[in-house]
Amino acid sequence: EPDVPSAGSVALARAGVVGLGMVPLVGAFSGVVDTERVALRAERLRARFRTPEDARLVLEPERALTPVLLDELAGAADAAPWLVLLLDAYERTAPFLDRWLHDVMTTDRYGDLPANTVVVTAGQRPLDPDRWEGAADFAAELPLRPFTESEARGLLAAKGVTEEPVVAEVLRLSGRLPVLVSTLAETGPAAPDDVGDPSANAVERFLRGEQDPARRT
């Protein structure tokens, strides 16, 4: 990385600071900006981007990486009857992924999504109706209902919870709600007394991804 900025970078930095001086409020601070430091940081940033592809990967990663992802999916799609992409906790990731996912599924901006691909989003809220207004032709909303007893027992068995008194207590306390069954199973209870009230942990799990103070209360 350069230790001294080039003359061109210093000139550009000074021009930028002069421009800032014309902006209300911001202009009051332009006089204390170290133009040589600004220029040096710009030089170091440019040095890291040795090729246009490097810069594109950092500044627009979705444009650089999504075509690669779709190519890989196309290769996998030739060898499997179906591909399933699972996006969990979508209430947390939707602010970053939703526009990208919509583009992938409804445009050819990045390439083509294989026709035998099923995309599943799981979250606390439905998809944005404004963005996904025309999605009824290829999307379906499936509310997650309580497990059947057989499904709940299957999950508990997969987590190693098989003692009948413990299983019965988990079923009683959870009401077979998937998130509560999973929460209680994760504690690995060995006796009925080990099965605590799942509501506090479940509420904390739900609120973990909620940033809106009004919704948290």
For residue 118, what is the enclosing H or E element? Answer: strand 117-121
pLDDT-derived band at 52 (thresholds 50, 70, 90) equals confident
For residue 64, the model assigns a pLDDT of 83
Whether the CB-CB separation of 187 and 216 falls below 8 Å is answered with no
For residue 19, the model assigns a pLDDT of 38
Q: Among positive and negative, which fits the CA dihedral 92, 95, 97, 101? A: positive
| Distance (Å, whole) CA 57 – CA 65 | 8
For residue 144, the model assigns a pLDDT of 85
Whether the CB-CB separation of 152 and 182 falls below 8 Å is answered with no
Model confidence at 69: pLDDT above 60: yes
pLDDT-derived band at 11 (thresholds 50, 70, 90) equals very low
Global confidence as pTM: 0.59
The 3-state DSSP class for residue 134 equals coil
Q: Residues in the chain, how many?
A: 217
pLDDT average, residue stretch 1-26: 43
